[in-house]
Structure 1
Amino acid sequence: MSDHDNPGQRHLSDHGIGDHTTHDHITHIDWAVLGPLLEQGAEVQAPFFEAAAAWLRELLTDADAPEAAATADAGPDGPRTGPRTGPRPHPVRRILDVGSGPGVTTCLLAQAFPDAEAVAVDATEALLARTRDRAARLGLGDRVRTHLAELPGGLDALDGADLIWSSKALHHVGDQRGAVAALAGHLRPGGLLAVFEGGLNPRFLPRDIGIGRPGLQSRLDAVGEEAFTEMRAALPDAVDAVEDWPAFLADAGLRTPRTRSFLLDLPAPLSAEAREHLRATLLRSVEVYGDRLDEDDRTTLGRLTDPDDPAGITRRPDAFLLSAQTVHTARAQ
């Protein structure tokens, strides 16, 4: 979720709220204002994170999972019985949420794995403070703790983990393959690394919204891709590589890769919280790459982000939120 630009955690999205900005800008951010917006955005996306956490729990703890069951496989000479090689149920005692932001996912993981300690790892103390407050409100204060650190280093002071989750943080590290390997090195035997990278850009408005030129979101996607490419190229020690996350996991020595995408489908009419999340996303888009857009699109965005404009995102009955998010996993030997 990251909720995420040097090799470290970021906390604003390249395409809106949800990712992180550059580390150089972090000192200029008013976290008293941004922190609540990040937390609100993560809460809006909670259905995705809950579904992903349930899947991870299934992979790690389901004694009836296919990987752990005895099988009857057909060979050239007929049925072949015996245990399938592969991972076995693995107790989860410790979780690292790397690039945790305000800790919404950290707490969801703690709830999904009630026997585990969950450690939120982030580069911003103000967001870690929000994590501690959230954990206390949810009655998780005895199992959720925080650690101030940046990627790819900063984890050596922590013990190994049975589950490491990283959401939209690794694409802000110059050497993504190396970052995956660094995280994999902190897994306990049989532990799982889960990397949330990729998916589809969210959609939240019709193609023709009645103001400005139709197709605004497609143009936002295009300039966002340009800005993302420039961000990647400017990272320290940036390494060009095909963004094949399962291959990165395999190169790190992990096995039994699994990839799954989860749908976030919030139809119209949206809740007030979801509408405010979308408004914050659009405001961030204007801030990050508004100068790449033409005057007509900037005018349209001005109206969409105006809470008093009848055509604004917070007052539109046609606003929705549809997104597909992808999680890549693999396990330690």
Structure 2
Amino acid sequence: MTKHIKHGHGGHGHHGRSQGHGPTAHGHEGGDLDWDVMGPSLEHEAELGLQQYREAARWVAGLPAVREVRRVLDVGSGPGVITCLLAEEFPAAEIIAVDGTPVLLERVRARAERLDLGDRVRTLYAELPADLGKLAEADLIWAANSLHHMGDQRGVLAGFAGLLRPGGAVALVEGGLPTRQLPRDIGIGRPGLEARIDAAAADWFADMRATLPDARQETEDWNALFGEVGLKPQGTRSFLLDLPGPLSGLARDHVVENFARQREVLADRLTAEDLAVIDRLLDPADPAGLHRRDDVFVLSARTVQVAGRL
């Protein structure tokens, strides 16, 4: 099974065999994920941040550069939670969920039908960047935590720019702040566990990006990159997810799953002491574990960058 991780900002975003990078991020290091198992997990994860994404979508919809939205490409749709939200926020638009995993596209279709959005939500199987030509033109391209899983980010952005209709826009969910789920001092182990996990995850992410096809290092100045591919920056905003403790069952399960993934992927990048602390946190019977603590929370920020066609 592919190793995957959450470590920073963004629970939505799924291209080919990878999802996200951010407060909820998944990458990949070869192999295949069991998407029948992962699908519900990804759906629940996105649902936790639904209000965060709703605020972001409404901000994008209100920008002067975003007008007459009739066709939206949700690039890296995953199971379709945000796809359906975009259908609700852009009620006159056809929404195309673009993903490289058929099982997740099936979840998009099922969710759209449940929400009576099946007449406006379509799915498109595409492996990016190779299949950019399959996407066709759009008024809005929404790419949440998927661009950084493409080796040549500048080239893909240029491809997006070429797909935009006059007056169209690209909305990137990239950047933000690392998620925090525990106090700095949790009473076991050395204080600052999540900061050390973040550092290990950043190294892991750099290694992952280096293995992508056509990988090239790019300064993540999105406004500058927009300009270089013929797009005009329209605005940048960050949106907060703040779930204070004690957490509900779904949110607590999300935190447990997050730590379990980090334990799996970063085992060779963390100290034995930190791994032992994580094992205690994951133990349902441990009074200091995540299942029983009242101080477990979720706090993160996702940043949205928007640019319009010149």
TM-score (structure 1 length as normaliser) = 0.86
Match of 2:12 in 1: 2
- Does the 8 A contact of 2:20 with 2:144 survive in 1? no
Within the candidate set 39, 42, 60, 1:35 is matched to 39
- Does the 8 A contact of 1:98 with 1:121 survive in 2? yes
- Verify: 1:144 aligned to 2:121, yes or no: yes
Q: Distance in 2 between matches of 1:194 and 1:3?
A: 12
Displacement of 1:279? 1.1
Displacement of 1:249? 1.2
- Does the 8 A contact of 1:16 with 1:281 survive in 2? no
Within the candidate set 238, 241, 244, 2:221 is matched to 244
Q: Distance in 1 between matches of 2:28 and 2:92?
A: 34
Percent identical across equivalent pairs? 52
Within the candidate set 228, 231, 242, 2:208 is matched to 231
Relative to structure 1, is the Cα distance of residues 17 and 259 closer, same or farther in structure 2, using a 3 angstrom cutoff?
closer
- Does the 8 A contact of 1:16 with 1:280 survive in 2? no
Match of 2:155 in 1: 178
Match of 1:75 in 2: none
Match of 2:4 in 1: none
Structure 1 alignment gaps of length 5 or more: 60-66, 68-86
- Verify: 1:269 aligned to 2:273, yes or no: no
- Does the 8 A contact of 1:16 with 1:285 survive in 2? no
Match of 2:235 in 1: 258
Match of 1:332 in 2: 309
Relative to structure 1, is the Cα distance of residues 20 and 98 closer, same or farther in structure 2, using a 3 angstrom cutoff?
farther
Within the candidate set 282, 288, 291, 1:314 is matched to 291
Displacement of 1:2? 2.9
Q: 1:323 corresponds to which letter in structure 2?
A: S
Displacement of 1:13? 5.0
Structure 2 alignment gaps of length 5 or more: 1-10
Match of 2:7 in 1: none
Displacement of 1:34? 1.0
What do you get for the CA RMSD once the two structures are aligned?
1.7
TM-score (structure 2 length as normaliser) = 0.92
Q: Distance in 2 between matches of 1:13 and 1:295?
A: 27
Q: 2:227 corresponds to which letter in structure 1?
A: A
Match of 2:101 in 1: 124
Give secondary structure in 1 for the equivalent of 2:191. coil
Match of 1:298 in 2: 275
Q: 1:39 corresponds to which letter in structure 2?
A: E
